Amino acid sequence: MAVKLTVPISEEDIRALKVGDQVLVTGVIFTGRDAAHKYMMDNFIKGTCPDSEKETYDVLKAGLAGSVIYHCGPVVGKTNDGKHTFVAAGPTTSIREEPYQADVMGHFGVRAVIGKGGMRDRTLAGCKEHGAVYLHAIGGAATLIAESVKEVLDVYKLDFGVPEAFWKIRVEDFPCVVTMDSHGESLHDKIRTDSQKKLQEILAS
């Protein structure tokens, strides 16, 4: 049975999760990919926030606390009344954010990261330290996942391009699986280890 997580998500709820748990996320979350993570690191985490970026910082600081970053480059359309809508919203490969993710989680109070392919040791340590999890979304199901996006609330840094901008969205019952938890466990590490072991057995036969 899936665990329902509603934003803002408490650290207690995150610490109760274990790898393999199925979850359904509901609430306001943000998309963010390579450009977004580099922007947060360069402007907000490494040094003093420039005056020109303070408005965006305030939005992200308030909005990401207890919330979720979704590694996603959406396909975005517009309705007849001019509102943005997600046509496709599949996860993108998360490993590119490995240099940034732990710092972003710690600085902004992010409770969960959604993506595909998993992340590595630095992010896993960040999950353990800050009380966060990595949630694996279904690759190749972009249109299906878009059905979980009920509303596009706003967009920030659209000058990065549609896929790289911060999209503020409201989701309902977004389906994921916990593959990295706050206790130092990672299904991705296990898969890598088992795969390497199997490869060595094949090569030795």
For 60-112, the pLDDT digits (tens) are: 999 999 999 999 999 999 999 989 999 989 999 999 999 999 999 999 999 99
Residues taking part in catalysis: 37
- Span 10-34, pLDDT tens digits: 999 999 999 999 999 999 999 999 9
List pLDDT tens digits, range 107-131: 999 999 999 999 999 999 999 999 9
**Topology adopted by domain 3-204:** fumarase (3.20.130)
3-state secondary structure the chain: CCEEEECCCCHHHHHCCCCCCEEEEEEEEEECCHHHHHHHHHHHHCCCCCHHHHHHHHHHHHHHCCCEEECECCEEEECCCCCEEEEECCECECHHHCCCHHHHHHHHCCCEEEEECCCCHHHHHHHHHHCCEEEECCCCCHHHHHCCEEEEEEEECHHHCCCCCEEEEEEEEEEEEEEECCCCCEHHHHHHHHHHHHHHHHHHC
pTM assigned to the model: 0.91
List the chain domain ranges. Answer: 3-204
Task: Assign 197 a pLDDT band (cuts: 50, 70, 90).
Answer: low
